[in-house]
Structure 1
């Protein structure tokens, strides 16, 4: 009979694997080097791992994640994104978690958490796959771990998901990401994160985006593990990035500082500024009242919000390049500014909150009328960016993509935060009225 069999093994003598473990494809199995005819390492046989194989010589089964590779359309299209580890999907997962919690929809939060679990439960296999074949077929960004994009956003969503599922595979991965950020990531002499990227277009640069790629993860890592040095690092990075990227004349952030030319690009790209404000609210929410960096960061938050509010268009949206009104209106940065303003109102960080209530509401109204259609499709989101010293690049080369994952999650987050802000204001008014009636 012409049959094809899968098998895993050989196993250690006298060891019988659990049946449940033999009904999975997300793990590798321990075996013995000597039983495979290999030389022992030192005095003991080297521990080896194996995976499912066919009844053919040296023929392993190899799961892989089929996806659209990097291009302006890599986050959309006919290929599924479920179970994929990458940075825009980190924002999407966070948006699903927060929207699901606000709407009391456990089906949504469960879906988001299971997306993350689909990645992390293949982590051990992915490491083995890289050893076996030279390049991982699954979780490429996590396993290669070359830059903050590869780990910070999705790692943050992973730790946010931990409250939903307590998945044991999350914590070892979080430790690896934290070690990368705190001990091995490239830094300037003053400690600021930056990108060396030798031989690449981004060689020797600092990006406002990287505040998002690092600090929300560090905040959640500190929260889950109790390691306050991670939160201290997050606060420190904001002070350092301000020194390089802040544009005081507009109270906005330059997208990139290019150390090859020792100057900032002086282009306040909308989403780069959105990442900055989004991440600063994450740090401020976690930072203790007595933390020495807190007063400066509160002042920085107010400074940025003043600059952004002054550049909001009549439509409620912000322009792709914030201080260039001829560039197109962009949805993802608008959602992030609405998110930041709403959180500032709710947490009491503004000196004068009233104008920011109005700005957040105008932004959300603009998004609902111009960026979200009746079917829930999201429009007007800038595609993934490189950088330039001209506004024309951001306006002409970076066109919008429908349902781009850079915008879907932040749209859910903006809607959730504006709703929470309005509920907070309503409750405060109700409490004030009740107090007045009681005292009267």
Structure 2
């Protein structure tokens, strides 16, 4: 009898523990929790600015800030974005052909669509007019205009947004050309991932490449996160009948399938995708962009809900665990061209916060 009672008690404890764990998990998907966490992360980051406002780092951050503005419907967030634009005079960065310096223009265009003030996009229009008539100077590593995979988040959404806003296909056509060049150079069709740049391609004649400790190719989490985030932001804009839309859609689906395979037990992704054992901590920025992209795919019926929703839910719970008590998004890898930089709970960067805000803006739309 005592043994039976003990078994019954054990079962009840197990049921109670499981229920408590489920309740704890569910809180991460409550709309109020998501909004509060996004607001706290945004507030912390706005009070801890970093880099020049037109810099690519802030291009990613303010993409997230605008997503937070749409999600939270806060006039104060709108004012913060407007103040940023006024400070930069709504100009891109100074490097004409460099995709990084065009990233901030995504937010300028988003703001123009709300406010209708031509000053918000005129400098970018003038920059692109010059861009299109000025030859790009190639080099051994920089063989094409967008020669590194991160560029596919920075410039393509800005170009496509501009073309759609102005109803001018020349910007979409330019994006198609430059995006496809980058794809042809860096996309690994065996792994369905992008090399960071030509130095990480094993089959490139005359280029010495390094390997991970396990002998696998180096595929950087954040670099591929940039690409998936960029694909989302291009697909959101492209007309349904645009001739090359299926190319972007196929690339997105291939990468999504691979990325889910590489998700770790804690829901996050490691700084190096194919050698997680060498990078035991979940990395905030790459994981943030993957969460954003996968959630968007589910929300828009592009990714099968039954197959991908569990990965999205696990990713958001993992990502939420990186939020520090003061609101900062921790565990963000510092600036660099590959995974080999240490980071910790204290490590933050504005693009990590941007990725988190973008993720939150899609997670809150999930129909679970």
Once residues 112 and 354 of structure 2 are traced to their aligned partners in structure 1, the CA distance between those partners, rounded to angstroms, is: 18
1:237–1:418 CA distance, 2 compared to 1 (3 A):
farther
- Does 2:320 correspond to 1:341? no
Match of 1:120 in 2: 89
**Partner secondary structure for residue 104 of structure 2:** helix
Task: Give the deviation of 1:285 after TM superposition.
Answer: 1.7
SS of 1:287 mapped into structure 2: coil
Q: Which has the higher strand share?
A: 1
SS at match of 1:381: coil
The one-character-per-residue Cα deviations of 1:95-119 (angstroms, maximum 9, x if unpaired) are 1121122122121122112211221
- Pick one of 116, 121, 136 that aligns with 1:166: 116
Conserved 8 A contact 1:162-1:170: yes
Question: Does the 8 Å CA contact 1:158/1:170 hold for their aligned counterparts?
Answer: yes
SS of equivalent to 2:264: coil
Alpha-carbon separation, structure 1, partners of 2:100 and 2:177? 19
> In 2 relative to 1, CA 165–264 (structure 1 residues): closer, same or farther, beyond 3 Å?
farther
Please tell me whether the aligned partners of residues 385 and 398 of structure 1 are also in contact (alpha carbons under 8 angstroms).
Answer: no
Equivalent in the alignment of 1:216: 157
User: Equivalent residue for 1:62?
Assistant: none
Cα 1:295–1:356 change in 2 (3 A) is: same
Which residue of structure 1 aligns with residue 284 of structure 2? Answer: 331
Retained in 2: the 8 A contact 1:222–1:228?
yes
**C-alpha deviation, 1:232, in angstroms:** 2.7
Could you say if the C-alpha distance between residues 158 and 366 of structure 1 is closer, same or farther in structure 2, counting changes exceeding 3 Å?
same
Distance 1:176 1:335, change over 3 A: same
User: 1:49-60, aligned counterparts within 5 Å?
Assistant: none
Specify whether residues 223 and 263 from structure 1 end up closer, same or farther in structure 2 by C-alpha distance, changes over 3 A only. Answer: farther
Structure 1: any 5+ residue segments left out of the alignment?
1-75, 124-140, 188-194, 388-393, 427-440
The aligned residue for residue 230 of structure 2 is 279
C-alpha distance in structure 1 between counterparts of 2:187 and 2:162, whole Å = 27
- Deviation per CA, 1:276-315: give whole Å up to 9, x if none: 1111111112222222212232222111101100000000
SS at match of 2:218: coil
Q: Give matches, 1:286-435, under 5 Å.
A: 286-326=237-277, 327=279, 328-350=281-303, 352-369=304-321, 371-387=322-338, 394-395=339-340, 397=341, 399=343, 402-420=347-365, 422=366, 425=367
Which SS does the other structure have where 1:211 is aligned?
helix
Would the aligned equivalents of 2:58 and 2:350 in 1 still touch at CA under 8 Å?
yes
**Correspondence 1:86 to 2:55:** yes
* Alignment CA distance shift 1:79-1:310 (3 Å): closer
Cα drift, residue 260 of structure 1? 7.8
Given the superposition, is the C-alpha separation of residues 253 and 167 from structure 1 closer, same or farther in structure 2, using an over 3 Å criterion? Answer: same
The 8 Å contact of residues 105 and 124 in structure 2, kept in 1 or not, is answered as yes
After TM superposition, give the deviation of residue 404 of structure 1 in Å. Answer: 0.8
CA separation of 1:296 and 1:204: change in aligned 2, threshold 3 A:
closer
4+ long deviations beyond 6 Å = 76-79
Supply the distance in 1 between the matched residues of 2:226 and 2:49 (Cα, whole angstroms).
26
- By relative contact order (CA 8 Å, sep 6+), the higher-ranking structure is 2
**Structure 1 residue 235: Cα displacement:** 3.4
Question: CA distance change for structure 1 residues 343 and 280 in 2, over 3 Å: closer, same or farther?
Answer: same
Return closer, same or farther for 1:304/1:77 CA change in 2, 3 Å cut-off. closer
3-state DSSP of counterpart to 2:198: strand
Cα distance, 1:77–1:90 mapped onto 2, change above 3 Å: closer
Cross-structure match for 1:390: none
Question: Are the equivalent residues in 1 in contact too, given 2:67–2:361 (CA < 8 A)?
Answer: yes
Per the alignment, in what secondary structure is the counterpart of residue 233 of structure 1?
helix
Q: Cα RMSD between the aligned structures?
A: 2.8
Matched with 2:206 is 261
Say if 1:115 and 1:203 are closer, same or farther in 2 by CA, change over 3 A: same
Cα–Cα, structure 1 residues 329 and 232, in superposed 2: closer, same or farther, change >3 Å? Answer: same
Alpha carbons of structure 1 residues 106 and 218: separation in structure 2 relative to 1, 3 Å: same
Partner of 1:156: 106
SS at match of 2:103: helix
Deviation at 1:223, TM superposition (A): 2.2
